[in-house]
Chains A and B, each alone.
Chain A
Amino acid sequence: MQDSYVTADGRTIGATVMEMKNITLRFGGVTAIKDISFDIREGEVRAIIGPNGAGKSSMLNVINGFYHPQEGEVWFHGKRRHEMKPHQIAKQGIARTFQNIALFKGMSTLDNIMTGRLTHMKSGLFSQMAWWGGAQAEEVANREIVEKVIDFLEIQAIRKTPVGRLPYGFQKRVELGRALAAEPKLLLLDEPMAGMNVEEKEDMSRFILDVNDEFGTTIALIEHDMGVVMDIADRVVVMDYGKKIGDGTPDEVRNNQDVIDAYLGVAHD
């Protein structure tokens, strides 16, 4: 495969960041993912789609290292990745959002996003408790980054509001904010538009594209809404029953017979 390609809207996509080679993931007797290979390239918006139970969320968990596949290899930044401890997972520069929002409901928007900075903080528990020396300077520096995220996502008005009180669309946005605050190299979004109305979807699409455009962040996302996926993704992987049935640009995928069959159903003879 060539080293880079140019997208439909004229962006140049760089070299491979992550490569999945023949991944198989089993839970006991259930095979969630079966012999799947694909890559994610620097600066692209990569979508993973498929019907319910296709194994999309499992795939996302393999990408960020939370699940370790029984077979196959994951290559990240040119190195083969082995099974990791949770703190190693957190520090590899991959941030994610969750399908069913996982925020600290009683904490404010600001504090929630601040937790995204945790892996970047060096001062220890005691100096943070004493609020002394490096800890103070560190918090100020991190707060600056968090404030830029708040500004970017236009959520200044809810900065001090406990997230439990926010409407769903805003909670999704706060979760994106927390992921962005970690300054990830690779951002994983698990159904960022689920349960949103058209206007909220439009807002979210714009933020995703802006993140990609402004910060050059590579994005992998799972999404049900085909319209959204086809609009914002550069390349799409299609999964069905744990298998890959299609991979390519939105246009290629749209015309792929296997994909059409998986989505619209097909008469079995």
Chain B
Amino acid sequence: MTEQAPAWARLLDLSSRSLNRRTVVRLGAGAVGSLAAGALLAACGGEQETQRESAPTATSVPGTQVSPTADMATTPATSPSAGEPVRGGELIYALSSDPPNLDPHISTGTAARCVKLQLYNGLLRYNDEGELLPDLAAEWEISDDGLQYTFILREGVTFHDDTPLTAEDVKVSIERIQDEATGATRKVEMSGISEITVEDEQTIILKLEQPHAALLEYFAQPETAILSKKFLESGGDPNTTSVGTGPFKLLSREPGVRIEVERNQQYHHEGRPHLDKIIFIPYQDENTRVSAVRGGDAHMADYVPWKDMQSIENDPNLRLETGQNSAFMCIQYNVRVKPFDDPKVRVALSYAYDRKAIIDAAFFGRAIEITGGVIPPQSWAYNEELEGTYTYDPEKAKQLLAEAGYANGFSVTLMSTSQYGMHQSTAQVVQNNLQAIGIDCKLELYDWQTVVQKHTKGEYQFRIHGLAPEILDPDFLTNFFASGSPHSKSTGFSDQEIDRLLQEGRAAQNQEQRKQIYKRLEQRILELAPWTFLVYRQDGEALRREVQGYKHLPGALGFFSGIMLQETWLQK
């Protein structure tokens, strides 16, 4: 890597090893989808996209020659900012919740993930267009049958305690995730790996029993971060302390009060991070969190309440970083209880909800309706033809209800939480809508913990939920709709046809083929309507003007925006 290398190449920081042809081919196939998504975003004309200068061509980057958007993708995000990044400075980040633990393998929400993204790296990483890039793995190869993954690690990476990264660390980390006792979030996905072989210091081979088209993506998430073998074996507890490879090192932590991280001088992405220090301060109250940024007590705040987005955009001292998220609000029916055991009722109700009112009341206009399937528009598997399946049509809902034998309505109880405004507001609109078509709908609002408990035990009739695809690949539907998935256990829903299609979609290697499978799958889901999808919301961070280089990542990547903190700098 030469000094003259352009910024985009420095960000990628490819090692001198050249990738073999097969890797390039496999990567090309895998990346098409996300690139298409990138192109689509660019076409939609997000402000950031149009403001980017054209960057050097990217022919040397594997898999990226397919699309001209790729070079934009690798340019460090330079939102409406000007000038060269300045090194140094302390950033105060007002977080929406206190990370209950620091263990990267156990997911505890977006705010916690934001902190963990500073401390750890995975084998791969996403760039800001959802492309998979090398991180701790410099290159990788997938066998043609999709059953063997070979990762070659980046050279010269050291942990925060100065021990070098080796294949052994990767092995220990994956085994830790697989271990029942860890309680890791990605246990199910990692359990598909039947054999882990350390080939040499820098090479590790993973063998699978069944092909899994989306597996690679999981290696880009902090929930599969690589921990230090030495640290774990010497009894280190990643819950309270941290030895990672990330751009920042843990400096101090007082639960509920603050977490401080400082620059990792040996970070393997040259020139990053720009900041000396980040201080994360959790704010229990969203209004106080916003006031903190407004008043200048913090440089940025996550999860800006939707009601405040407009006024933050209007404030000359502030900037709102937002993007169309693929997180969505939906209604889940417990299909064990009458009348929700009848698909006709679920279909009928799907016409009863005024999605526009939800967008106004819960999201103050910062959301878009879902009238079709839930695979988001940013995805290559998006099914445009399904748009308009369920629109707001109370008359039709009434008529369908009558056909299902409920001309006089029925009495039901809707479960939601008082703890999150968006859940509560959505629930209030839904209750209102159902009452309008003659259904006696009671509202039960619990605190979030109780909701979780009742959800797990299936003790509700129907509920409001806010969920998000965990990966960009449409395989995310497995965790929602496969028999035996936590959600299906909760709702009691299962369908053999859906299970079969999910299996097929995961095993198929060809993207066009997969697209067809997921289309059929989504049609089936809409026909049976085990859930009703309502709206996609926009999430956003509030930034003071001096904060530069940060960007809210689009789509499902929104939850990974914390990765941009290593690109962030403070204007003097």
Chain A partners chain B:
no
